[in-house]
Chain A
């Protein structure tokens, strides 16, 4: 096991495109790092660079105390699980797992012991003599993990390992990966475009876009305190509501004014007045998550601002029902208890919990408060 630090790493292709523009990330030994972002954000490139499959244009990557910039993949003490699993098609599961050990010239008895131990841990012992083509998607996934585990590397790299599985299996394997991490306390770098995987698995999340780390922090930090509009919208499902609204003076503080076709309400802001005084009378983007707009029964608390809103669409998900209303001419999603949800066309009393609301500059999309 080892820590990983990435210092000011850049990647420029020969044709001049900057894929990565100065990445700084550091994690401790045993941490689970998630690189998440939309496609084309550079997360897979960064992973390939950690693996040594891609050159670094400038900057440093260190695994433990070693600078690995110029080491070839095999000397970096890493193992990787690929999106397509990349199992060697002509080899049996056993050979797939032992291949890397054989190349490293481990003694035969040791290899056999390792393969058996790993197979048992992943419950694939009965599959050892099969070819990859005879395995289901989930089984292939396990074999790919087994191949990485057998090597016992300092760092595991996962490149969207679950995206080829069906929804149910994906959730199961997610839990297994987390379990494996808890048991082995291994250092893991995991690339995904799925923000739910990012939230559930990671100790640390780096949200990337356009070759830049937009925010680096723990999942809860990123969820509660997004650094900018992109991060706020990317993390969380359904995503945060962004309501254009004007900052106004309200009883004893500042608030934002939101209107439905029934009427308006001023939602008091919890933020420090000094921070926002420059914005009085100006339009900001008011960000509030769906679970912070709900029915009175779910809200539990007295004295929160509330408003009757015209329900446009409802989407029952089972545990909650999503209510869509229109505030300041923007579609807004609210999360309510199923029994409290009204029908489309009716008016419904919604309670706003503004304690975690955030504000963004509409031009720069940077967080104001």
Chain B
């Protein structure tokens, strides 16, 4: 292999750098703007670095920015999102794992049909379920609460998580389950002792996917939650749209980054296990 740069190589790298810059530019603008003062923003260039690095916009965004008539910053809504996302991700993932285990390893009459119906759930547009879901939440008495949002996301997420786990478990030889049955293990023992320990990679995939979906969801948040229980995505929208004369771009930027940080964090932490876990099983020679 030749190490020197040929013209073709050079072109490839140039294109890659260009695309990378194009992609990173908004992040750069957001970060620098969030550390600028309002004066700095008015005087300077969009791409310039802050004249003085100021954390004021960040503390305002976190604790005292106004979203509508409330002026408590993002922190309450951030916690709302955490309270909504964590249980919704965990519950939908566990349900998906059990569902996937059943439709791949314990086929019963109609299990394929059931799986197909679940699959269709992945393609139902959000808008279609809004009204019936609002009605249901009303009947259950959990309209406008975080619990209600958790329920909505669990129901909607189960289709995806089932698909993920089912597709993972069909690659696991069913002889493992047979061996377990002959050894005397029951349904749950086989699941917890034999299959769950090898399911690490698919858990990571599923959690990343579900976390991103639920944390970033806006529509369900805006429809099914009100005031106190709104998730951060809705709060961010309100914050950006609330203006008291001056548009505080630095606070908007800081708030947006705060709203995006958890998903970034999940990618960074779990991404490693994602790659590492993929080849761990090794059932066959």
Any B CB within 8 A of the CB of A84: yes
Give the docked Cα–Cα distance between A187 and B285 (Å): 28
Q: Which of B21-29, B97-105, B172-180 interfaces with chain A?
A: B172-180
A78 CB within 8 Å of chain B: yes
Complex alpha-carbon distance, A147 and B184, angstroms: 13
Checking A52, A88, A164 against B194 with a beta-carbon cut-off of 8 angstroms, the contacting residue is A88
In Å, the complex CA distance between A87 and B284 comes to 9
- Interface flag for A338 (CB, 8 Å): no
Q: Which residues of B contact A52 (CB under 8 A)?
A: 181
Contact yes or no, A164 B197, CB < 8 A: no
Q: Which of A82, A90, A100 contacts B178 (CB 8 A)?
A: A82
Complex interface: stretch among A133-141, A288-296, A297-305? A133-141
Encoded as 1 (CB less than 8 Å from any A CB) or 0, chain B from 170 to 200 comes to 0001011011111111000100011001100
Are the CB atoms of B183 and A132 closer together than 8 Å? no
Query: Is B283 at the interface (CB under 8 A from chain A)?
Result: yes
By the criterion CB–CB under 8 Å, are A87 and B283 in contact?
Answer: yes
A79 contacts across to B, CB distance below 8 A: 182
Q: Choose one: A53, A88, A133; the contact of B176 (CB below 8 Å).
A: A88
B residues in contact with A265, CB < 8 Å:
none
When C-beta atoms are compared, the residue in chain A nearest to B185 turns out to be: A103
Question: Given A133-B281, A136-B285, A137-B285, does the pair A86, B183 have CB atoms closer than 8 Å?
Answer: no
Instruction: Check if A80 is an interface residue, CB within 8 A of chain B.
Output: yes
With contact pairs A83-B175, A84-B173, A88-B176 given, residues A51 and B282 touching in the complex (Cβ less than 8 Å): no
- For the complex, is B280 an interface residue (Cβ under 8 Å from A)? yes
Give CA–CA (A91, B283) in the complex, Å: 11
- CB-CB under 8 A from A85, the residues of chain B are 283-285
Question: Quick check: B179 and A86 within 8 Å, CB to CB?
Answer: yes
Does any Cβ of B come within 8 Å of A104's Cβ?
A: yes
Q: B284 and A164: CB pair below 8 A?
A: yes
- A74 at interface, CB cutoff 8 A: yes
Tell me the bound Cα distance from A99 to B197 in angstroms.
15
B181 and A73 within 8 A (CB): yes
CB distance from A114 to the nearest CB of B (A): 14
* Residues of chain A at interface, number, CB under 8 A: 33
B184:A86 contact, CB within 8 angstroms: no
Q: Mark A141-177, 1 if CB is under 8 A from B, else 0.
A: 0000001000100000000000010000000000000
Question: Within the complex, which residue of B182, B184, B189, B198 is in contact with A90, where a contact is CB–CB below 8 Å?
Answer: B198
A318 interface residue per 8 A CB criterion: no
From A72, which residue of chain B is reached at the shortest CB distance? B181
Q: Does A89 contact B (CB under 8 A)?
A: yes
Interface residues in B142-189 (C-beta closer than 8 Å to A): 173, 175-176, 178-185, 189
- B183 neighbours in A (Cβ, 8 Å): 74, 99-100, 103, 147, 151
Question: Which one of B185, B197, B282 lies within 8 Å of A133 (CB-CB)?
Answer: B282
Residue contact B189 to A103, C-beta cutoff 8 Å: yes
Complex partner residue of B181 from A14, A74, A87, A88, CB under 8 angstroms: A74
Most chain-B Cβ atoms within 10 A of its Cβ — which of A14, A51, A91, A133? A133
Find residues 243-298 in chain A having any chain B CB closer than 8 Å to their own CB. none
Restricting to A60-116, which residues have a CB under 8 Å from any CB of B?
A: 72-74, 78-80, 82-91, 99-100, 103-104
Are B181 and A86 in contact, with the CB atoms below 8 A? no
**Smallest Cβ distance from A237 to chain B, in angstroms?**
25
Distance between Cα atoms of A48 and B174 in the complex (Å):
13
Give CA–CA (A137, B284) in the complex, Å.
8
Q: Are A86 and B173 in contact (CB under 8 A)?
A: yes
Give the residues in chain A near B283, CB-CB below 8 Å.
84-87, 89, 132
Shortest distance between the CB of B186 and any CB in chain A (Å):
9
Q: How far is the CB of B188 from chain A (nearest CB, A)?
A: 12
Docked Cα-Cα span, A52 to B184, in Å, equals 12
Query: How far apart are A204's CB and chain B's nearest CB, in angstroms?
Result: 23
B178 engages A53 (CB within 8 Å): yes
Say whether A89 contacts B281, CB under 8 Å: yes
Give B231 Cβ to nearest chain A Cβ, in Å: 37
B176: A residues at CB distance < 8 A? 86, 88-89
Known: A86-B173, A86-B178, A87-B283. A74 touches B197 (CB 8 A): no
Bound complex: CA of A136 vs CA of B183, how far in Å?
23
User: In whole angstroms, what is the CA distance A100 to B175 when docked?
Assistant: 15
Determine the distance from Cα of A80 to Cα of B180 in the docked complex, in whole angstroms.
10
Near A by CB (< 8 A), chain B positions 233-285 give: 280-285
CB distance from A100 to the nearest CB of B (A): 3
Kindly identify, within residues 178 to 233 of chain B, every residue whose CB is under 8 Å from any CB belonging to chain A.
178-185, 189, 193-194, 197-198
* Whole-angstrom CA separation of A94 from B185 in the bound complex: 17
Nearest-CB distance from A87 to chain B (Å)? 7
* Closest partner residue, chain A, to B175 (CB atom): A86
CA distance A133 to B184 in the complex (A): 24
A14 to B197, CA, bound (A): 34
Closest partner residue, chain B, to A131 (CB atom)? B282
Contact between A53 and B184, CB atoms less than 8 A apart: no
- The answer to whether A164 touches B184, judged by C-beta atoms less than 8 angstroms apart, is no
Identity of the chain B residue whose Cβ is nearest the Cβ of A95 in the assembled complex: B193
Which of chain A's residues have a CB closer than 8 A to the CB of B175?
82-84, 86
Return chain B residues, CB-CB under 8 Å to A147. 179, 183
Indicate if the CB atoms of B285 and A90 lie closer than 8 Å: no
Q: List 23 A-B residue pairs with CB atoms under 8 Å apart, sorted by A's residue number.
A: A51-B178, A53-B178, A53-B182, A74-B183, A80-B179, A82-B179, A84-B173, A85-B285, A86-B176, A86-B178, A88-B193, A88-B194, A89-B198, A89-B281, A90-B197, A99-B185, A103-B183, A103-B185, A103-B189, A104-B184, A132-B283, A136-B285, A151-B183
Given A51-B182, A74-B182, A85-B285, 4 more pairs with CB closer than 8 A: A100-B184, A132-B282, A147-B183, A164-B285
Query: What 4 pairs between A and B have smallest CB-CB spacing?
Result: A90-B197, A133-B282, A100-B183, A74-B184
